[in-house]
Amino acid sequence: MTAYLDHAATTPLRPEALDAMLPYLTEHFGNPSGSHAVSRQAKQAIEEARDVVAWGLGCRPAEVVFTGGGTEADNLALFGPLGVETVACTDVEHHAVLHSVLARGGQVVPVADIATTQADLVSVMLANNETGVVHDLPHVKGLLHTDAVAAFPWLDVAALAAHADLVSISAHKFGGPKGVGALAVRGGVRLRPILHGGGQEADRRSGTHNVAGIVGMAAALKATVEQRAATVERVGRLRDRLANGLLAAIPGARETGERATKTAGNCHLRFPGVESESLLVLLDEAGVCASAGSACASGAIEPSHVLTAMGVPRDEALASVRLSLGSTTTDADVDLALKAVPDAVARLR
Amino acid sequence: MRVLAAMSGGVDSSVAAALLLAQGHDVVGATMKLWGGDSDSGCCSVADVEDARRVAQQLSITHHVFNFGDDFDAHVVAPYVAAHAGGSTPNPCVECNRHLKFDRFLVRARQLGFDAVATGHHARVVSVAGRWRLRRGADAAKDQSYVLHMLGQAELAQTLLPVGEMTKAAVRSYANELGLRTAAKPDSQDVCFITSTGGRAEFLGSRIPLRPGRVVDDASGAEVGRVDAVELVTVGQRRGLGPLSGDPRRRYVSAIEGDTVRVSDVAPTVSGIALGRTAWVDQPAAPGTPVLAQCSAHGSPVAATWDGERVQFAKPQRLVAPGQSVVLYDGDDVLGGGLALPA
């Protein structure tokens, strides 16, 4: 048996999403930018999807820009807005934001200082992808962007990010397909595209639409939002059982972040003296899919900048594991992890 | 056996993993990520990790990447820089084998429940009368026993070197037969963390202040030239000192003293060399043991005697730069070795 506990990396495709996508991978193959009947079918599908995504993000349909994923949405948010000279973000952002801000010569500041940082555009993630820690989005003078990619499965993004000018999401984190995402661009924010071409998405993002992907994202988003409260309730209990069980079973184990401030699916633990890399190999052999830190281009695990920013010592950062639960996680998954993780830690100590 | 095969992304380690699999072992591949900086290829680039991963996929074996960058910096790169700063000539591949492949990697393999590790080195591990021996590879031109001389009984007992019995040509032809994507990949050259464009000068120059020096003729005491960096000069070096005034004969570096590089028009020789940090495959060789001594990775072995502290050459030999490994053989079997101390 395999316990997939890496939902923060990606999630299995929801059946609703697959069912919604299949016609657009087969008979309804049209390019929505055309003018004939086959095209019109595709065009209608993405506009219906736009309505659903707008509902999920709490914005108007015209404010939704479909992108090729969360990274592109973050890049568009940071490079696109007109009239922005200076940008800033927190030091716990996902690399898609962090590296974009650095590429723009922007400031990277501690979470505690972001609310008072002077910049034309400030980016603050809603929930952290590694630790699950949720941030209050500040009210800033300039534009506010939030990377809501890790938050979306768990939090009412429409409400919590209601005052954000720009909001990024990625479909595959909530049961949609990979390679599709969206950026909500509210009100008066005018965007210069970063991808130039045919002028799709009201000249904000060129490129032929990934019709099936967009339709799949909308179906997954609808199911996610409708079931969110129940999922948070159910998965939160599973996560608490997992985290409490491991903290009790493994001497010296520490939890990253205050439980009450974390998303329901995140179980991030540190086992001082145990190397994450070794732990992941043994967990893999035992059928538990987990992760640690962030994988670099080679696949090697790098010490997490997020843990470093939180003040976790380097050796302890390299002794961490992230078990991330999702809407398909079961009691059996938790049972397997509750056995496999203590066994593996004991072997490595 | 459960074997953890170190896969660098080169043809030798690809074939090593394939051979073990064909022999019926339970094989898992792992690539060490050692160096995060620029690299021509060698052991550390993303492309090499990708090659290793693809070969593992071709062989249908599990593949892991281990990030040993901190250890590589601490045990290989920092000592390499410090040695150059101190006027000696280190061999980083020896230190990588000593500290990374056959320590960090081997320890992790044991921790993960593996019975042995395997690498693609051209050398042989042989059991004779219950003791392990390290023998030169079957392909004399590709033999790598020199850089493995620090392996002791504990390491050899858990080390498999499957390509050691093969010639390089046979390794490539086997890789071709299996359709491995690394079959025609060029051999790695030189030090993996030094690029051919920047070279040692750029690498060391960005880490330590390089001191310009005077080149002085040993016999006359006259200054005959200048060098930009004494740290880049190696004792015994014959080329690359730039134009030297006076006698146009070939000059050899006979010594480096502070900022002064001494050169001589005859190749400086020594009758013996003291070794530090000796390591032995089995019991330390007894004083008076006749040995064959090899003083560089591709040098020829020469007759000598080990006196317990020094290698006494049967005939005077070229100067050995301090910091170089000197490896002692009994025929084709490695006895052990150490680092040349300053003469």
Where does the pLDDT of residue B200 fall: very low under 50, low under 70, confident under 90, or very high at 90 and above? Answer: confident
Q: Is the ipTM of this complex over 0.95?
A: no
| SS (HEC) of chain A | CCEECECCCCCCCCHHHHHHHHHHHCCCCCCCCCCCHHHHHHHHHHHHHHHHHHHHHCCCHHHEEEECCHHHHHHHHHHCECCCCCEEEECCCCHHHHHHHHHCCCEEECHHHHHHCCCCEEECCCECCCCCEECCCCCCCCEEEEECCCCCCCCCHHHHCCCCCEEEEEHHHHCCCCCCEEEEECCCCCECCCCCCCCHHHHCCCCCCCHHHHHHHHHHHHHHHHHHHHHHHHHHHHHHHHHHHHHHHCCCCEECCCHHHECCCEEEEECCCCCHHHHHHHHHHCCEECECCEECCCCCEECCHHHHHCCCCHHHHCCEEEEECCCCCCHHHHHHHHHHHHHHHHHHC
Which amino acid, A99?
Answer: H
Interface test with A, best of B32, B111, B192 (most A CBs within 10 A): B111
* Distance in angstroms (rounded) separating the CA atoms of residues A72 and A180: 9
* 3-state secondary structure (DSSP) of residue B268: coil
Under a CB-based contact definition with an 8 Å cutoff, are residues A17 and A175 in contact?
A: yes
**What pTM was estimated for this model as a whole?**
0.90
Contact yes or no for A302 and B53 at CB 8 A: no
pLDDT computed for residue A295 by the predictor: 64
Contacts of A146 (CB under 8 A, 6+ apart): A123, A124, A125, A126, A137, A161, A164, A166, A167, A168
Interface test with B, best of A281, A283, A291, A304 (most B CBs within 10 A): A281
Report how many Cβ contacts below 8 Å link chain A to chain B.
35
Contacts of B2 (CB under 8 A, 6+ apart): B25, B26, B28, B113, B114, B115, B116
Residue burial A96-113, b: 16+ Cβ < 10 Å; e: rest: bbbebbeebebbbbebee
Q: Measured between beta carbons, which residues in chain B are less than 8 angstroms from residue A271?
A: none
Contacts of A79 (CB under 8 A, 6+ apart): A100, A104, A192, A194
* Average pLDDT of adjacent 10-residue blocks, chain A of 349 residues: 96 98 96 94 97 98 98 98 97 97 97 96 98 97 97 98 98 98 95 96 96 98 98 98 98 97 98 95 96 72 90 92 98 98 96
Q: Measured between beta carbons, which residues in chain A are less than 8 angstroms from residue B9?
A: none
Interstrand relation of B26-33 and B63-67 (parallel, antiparallel or unpaired):
parallel
pLDDT computed for residue B142 by the predictor: 95
pLDDT in tens, B43-75: 457 788 999 999 999 999 999 999 999 999 999
By C-alpha distance, the chain A residue nearest B4 is A281
Q: Measured between beta carbons, which residues in chain B are less than 8 angstroms from residue A284?
A: 62
Q: Report chain A residues touching chain B, CB-CB < 8 A.
A: 275, 277-278, 281-282, 284, 296-302, 347-348
By C-alpha distance, the chain B residue nearest A314 is B70
Measure Cα distances from B141 to A116, A145, B123, B136, B160 in Å: 66, 61, 11, 10, 20
Q: Measured between beta carbons, which residues in chain B are less than 8 angstroms from residue A275?
A: 108
What would the two tokens of residue A41 be?
Answer: 């079918």
Interface test with B, best of A276, A291, A294, A298 (most B CBs within 10 A): A298
Q: Measured between beta carbons, which residues in chain B are less than 8 angstroms from residue A301?
A: 65, 67
B202 CB within 8 Å of a chain A CB: no
Nearest to B111 among A301, A302, A348 (CB): A348
Q: Is B93 a catalytic residue?
A: no
User: Looking at the predicted structure, is the pLDDT value of residue B39 above 80?
Assistant: no
Q: Measured between beta carbons, which residues in chain A are less than 8 angstroms from residue B65?
A: 298-301
pLDDT in tens, B234-287: 888 877 777 777 666 778 888 888 889 998 888 888 999 999 999 999 999 999
Under a CB-based contact definition with an 8 Å cutoff, are residues B123 and B137 in contact?
A: yes
Q: What is the DSSP letter of B104?
A: I
Q: Which are the catalytic amino acids of A?
A: 296
Nearest to A282 among B53, B67, B112 (CB): B112
* Distance in angstroms (rounded) separating the CA atoms of residues A52 and A66: 12
By C-alpha distance, the chain A residue nearest B48 is A298
State the nearest Cα–Cα gap between A302 and chain B, in angstroms.
7
Place of tokens 């100067």: B319
Contact yes or no for A298 and B69 at CB 8 A: no
pLDDT computed for residue A297 by the predictor: 62
pLDDT computed for residue B247 by the predictor: 66
Contact yes or no for A298 and B65 at CB 8 A: yes
Interface test with A, best of B8, B67, B72, B106 (most A CBs within 10 A): B67
Under a CB-based contact definition with an 8 Å cutoff, are residues A17 and A176 in contact?
A: yes
State the nearest Cα–Cα gap between B31 and chain A, in angstroms.
9
State the nearest Cα–Cα gap between B112 and chain A, in angstroms.
7
Q: Measured between beta carbons, which residues in chain B are less than 8 angstroms from residue A347?
A: 111, 113
B54 CB within 8 Å of a chain A CB: no
Radius of gyration of chain B (CA): 21
Mean pLDDT, residues B14-29: 97
pLDDT computed for residue B186 by the predictor: 85
